[in-house]
Amino acid sequence: MYIGIDVGGTSIKAGIVDYKGNILYKDTIGTRASLGYEAVREDMITLINKAIQYSKQENYRIDSIGIGVPGIADPQSDNVIYCTNLNWKDAPLGKDLKSRYGLPIYIDNDATVAAIAESVKGITKGSENSVFLTLGTGVGGGIIINRKVYSGTHNKGSEIGHMIIGENFYDCNCGNNGCLETFASATAIVRYTQKLIDEGFLDEEFMEALRSKDGVMDTKFIFDMAKKNNELALKSIDRMVKYLSIGIGNFINILNPDIIAIGGGVSKAGKYLIEKINREFINYVIFKEGSTTEIKLSQLGNDAGIIGAALISEYK
Ligand SMILES: [Zn+2]
């Protein structure tokens, strides 16, 4: 059995998970992010203590503790190098927990952890090689090769959101121009739609619908309008699909995976998005004949963080 912890901006979730990815115990607590690293670590310790107590009652043997964080961890020291949302920098999380519990501690990025969860219990289960893309505020993901997570020599690879796809009208947070994240994230879709409006793309139908939504333009609204064949929304969504498909084509040409899974908030557009990608990505694939890579929606919801974190050790 493993303990898995999913540290998010609003809540910390913990669970006891078996090697098949079944959750046997679950608990959650709010994230006191504004109080800094020590406060969040103490809350994690409270959750872990309760989980260990439960495991003793049930005679479960805990082999390791895995933690998914919204940031970057150093696998050598198990320090969290940084977590922007939580205001952590060089937080000695691995060291602090190891000295307390004497168990192996594994820490990884939350998108990598979600890729592991999908591979254990979700859409990429049984697949040797897969790519998981999460399209949210940014773009993240994980690459699994021969059923192991691929993160590169110094754990600094697999920065999927920063694969450069083409020239774009605004720079990425990382400082480069043209990153996938600036074409295919929720932020990117809204920014490009707003740019079209600012440049005078007149679409009364779109503006009327937007007014009835109190002017709140999010990706759900833009997708809903595109599904009704609205011209402005379609222009924005089709551009996003084009660049996302270029990224997908790159993955297929380089890695030849069985499945590319799409998750995150933008994936709520569902079948509509997948069908559009399926019409487009093949244009960017070198070996079109016999190309078998499937593009699918991710399957796991809220529990993915706990399951994936618990099983990091199995995928290292
Ligand atoms: Zn970037």
Q: Which position has the higher pLDDT, 84 or 125? A: 125
Q: Which of 311, 1, 258 is nearest to 149 (CA)?
A: 311
Question: What is the band of 221 on the pLDDT scale with cuts at 50, 70, 90?
Answer: very high
Q: What is the pLDDT of residue 81?
A: 82
71 CA from centroid of ligand 1 (Å) = 14
162 CA from centroid of ligand 1 (Å) = 4
pLDDT digits (tens, 9 = 90+) for 57-74: 999 999 999 999 988 888
Q: What is the pLDDT of residue 139?
A: 94
- Sequence-separated (6 or more) residues with CB below 8 Å from residue 107: 66, 67, 68, 69, 73, 75, 78, 80, 93, 94, 312
Q: Which position has the higher pLDDT, 77 or 276? A: 276
84 CA from centroid of ligand 1 (Å) = 15
284 CA from centroid of ligand 1 (Å) = 21
293 CA from centroid of ligand 1 (Å) = 26
pLDDT digits (tens, 9 = 90+) for 293-312: 999 999 998 899 999 999 99
180 CA from centroid of ligand 1 (Å) = 7
Question: What is the band of 76 on the pLDDT scale with cuts at 50, 70, 90?
Answer: confident
CA gap 2, 134 in Å, rounded: 25
Q: What is the pLDDT of residue 38?
A: 93
Strand runs (DSSP E) across 51-205, as ranges?
A: 64-69, 72-73, 80-83, 88-91, 105-109, 130-135, 139-145, 148-150
Q: What is the pLDDT of residue 77?
A: 72
204 CA from centroid of ligand 1 (Å) = 34
90 CA from centroid of ligand 1 (Å) = 22
**pLDDT tops 80 at residue 154:** no
283 CA from centroid of ligand 1 (Å) = 24
86 CA from centroid of ligand 1 (Å) = 20
Q: What is the pLDDT of residue 33?
A: 86
Q: Which position has the higher pLDDT, 75 or 286? A: 286
pLDDT digits (tens, 9 = 90+) for 113-148: 999 999 999 999 999 999 999 999 899 999 999 999
290 CA from centroid of ligand 1 (Å) = 32
Q: What is the pLDDT of residue 249?
A: 98
Q: What is the pLDDT of residue 316?
A: 85
251 CA from centroid of ligand 1 (Å) = 17
Kindly list the domain boundaries of the chain, sorted by start residue. 2-119+302-315, 126-297
Q: What is the pLDDT of residue 301?
A: 84
- In the chain, what percentage of residues exceed pLDDT 90? 85
Assign domain 126-297 to its CATH architecture.
2-Layer Sandwich (3.30)
176 CA from centroid of ligand 1 (Å) = 5
Q: What is the pLDDT of residue 10?
A: 87
Q: What is the pLDDT of residue 79?
A: 83
pLDDT digits (tens, 9 = 90+) for 248-262: 999 999 999 999 999
Mean pLDDT of 186-212: 96
pLDDT digits (tens, 9 = 90+) for 271-281: 999 999 999 99
* Structural fold of domain 2-119+302-315: Nucleotidyltransferase; domain 5 (3.30.420)
175 CA from centroid of ligand 1 (Å) = 6
Strand runs (DSSP E) across the chain, as ranges?
A: 2-7, 11-17, 23-30, 64-69, 72-73, 80-83, 88-91, 105-109, 130-135, 139-145, 148-150, 259-263, 294-297
60 CA from centroid of ligand 1 (Å) = 43
178 CA from centroid of ligand 1 (Å) = 7
37 CA from centroid of ligand 1 (Å) = 26
Mean pLDDT of all residues in the chain?
94
Q: What is the pLDDT of residue 273?
A: 98
CA gap 103, 191 in Å, rounded: 45
Q: Among 42-51, 76-85, 148-157, 182-191, where is mean pLDDT lowest?
A: 76-85
CATH topology identical between 2-119+302-315 and 126-297: yes
243 CA from centroid of ligand 1 (Å) = 14
Q: Which position has the higher pLDDT, 290 or 26? A: 26
